[in-house]
């Protein structure tokens, strides 16, 4: 569904992503593992059209979307949930979710179906539908950010460090929700520093260091790797 081919990108003359090639198949959960500053967030933001590409291609369903505006890429079906969540704090939960529909507008019945899907996945959002986003806890805000992305009915969902700043119990709940999305067939590319949790649900994973992919394998194989255990799992 998503292929990055010899992708280099960054800010101004600084290339943060360097000749990266990787893929995400339909229905897969693929995890991007790496330390702070390795290039995880930049790679996701590049795929979503938020960072300038200096070389290479981004193929979504075989269509080259490299260089397209971010709003066009969202309409094509690739939607990013950024690390900072980027919610509208003075707007209600319902209003924030409604914004997500703009990427891929729907009929009234389809819109109602999307709301039902999000509320089934995140019941707290339904019970607090009239609350402003800025009044929510960190965990609820993360659920709202994911819910807003789901309102566009994406072909592939990019999650950038979704567990950042969450208490351990909320991290567990978050990954349970991601596992539910996986069971429903959602295609997900996940950048995450909680390597243990991420690899538990991943079909495959890539390790990125200094903007380059240095290792690729199944989630379980990476979790068993001596390099991963020493670098990220504290073993």
50-83 pLDDT, tens per residue?
A: 999 999 999 999 999 999 999 999 999 999 999 9
Domain limit, last residue, from 153, 173, 188? 153
The partner residues of 81 in beta bridges, in order of sequence, read: 159
Domain limit, last residue, from 138, 153, 168? 153
Question: Is the separation of the CB atoms in 174 and 212 below 8 Å?
Answer: no
146-172 pLDDT, tens per residue?
A: 999 999 999 999 999 999 888 888 999
Same domain, yes or no: 141 and 178: no
How many domains, in total, are found in the chain? 2
Question: Is the separation of the CB atoms in 194 and 171 below 8 Å?
Answer: yes
Enter the tokens of residue 149: 């992305």
Same domain, yes or no: 159 and 234: yes
Enter the tokens of residue 192: 């995450």
pLDDT for the residue 190: 97
CA distances from 143 to 74, 154, 215, 225 (A): 19, 16, 30, 31
Q: Which domain holds residue 91?
A: 87-153
pTM above 0.85, yes or no: yes
With 70 as the cut, is the pLDDT of residue 122 above it? yes
Which parts of the chain fold into alpha helices (H)? 40-47, 70-76, 93-101, 108-121, 123-127, 138-150, 168-183, 195-201, 219-224, 226-232
Rounded CA separation 116/107 (Å): 14
* Domain annotation covers residue 82: no
CATH code of the domain covering residue 67? 3.40.50.300
Same domain, yes or no: 70 and 100: no
**What does the longest C-alpha to C-alpha distance in the chain come to?**
52
């Amino acid at each position: 569904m998503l292929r990055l081919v010899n992708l280099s990108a960054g800010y101004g003359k600084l290339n943060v992503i360097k000749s990266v090639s990787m893929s995400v198949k339909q229905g897969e959960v693929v995890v991007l593992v790496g330390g702070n500053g390795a290039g995880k967030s930049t790679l996701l933001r590049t795929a979503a059209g938020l960072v300038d590409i200096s070389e290479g291609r981004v193929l979504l369903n075989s269509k080259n979307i490299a260089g397209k505006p971010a709003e066009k890429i969202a309409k094509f079906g690739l939607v990013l949930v950024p690390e900072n969540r980027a919610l509208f704090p003075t707007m209600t939960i319902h209003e924030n979710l409604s914004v997500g529909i703009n990427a891929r507008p729907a009929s009234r019945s389809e819109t109602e179906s999307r709301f039902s899907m999000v509320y089934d996945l995140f019941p707290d959002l339904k019970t607090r539908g009239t609350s402003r986003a800025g009044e929510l806890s960190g965990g609820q805000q993360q659920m709202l950010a994911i819910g807003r992305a789901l309102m566009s009915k994406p072909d592939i969902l990019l999650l950038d460090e979704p567990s950042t700043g969450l208490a351990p119990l909320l991290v567990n709940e978050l990954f349970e929700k991601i596992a539910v999305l996986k069971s429903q067939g959602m295609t997900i590319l996940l950048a995450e520093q909680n390597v243990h949790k991420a690899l538990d649900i991943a079909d495959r994973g890539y390790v990125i260091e200094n903007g380059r992919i240095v290792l690729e394998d199944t989630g379980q194989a990476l979790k068993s790797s001596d390099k991963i255990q020493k670098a990220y799992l504290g073993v």
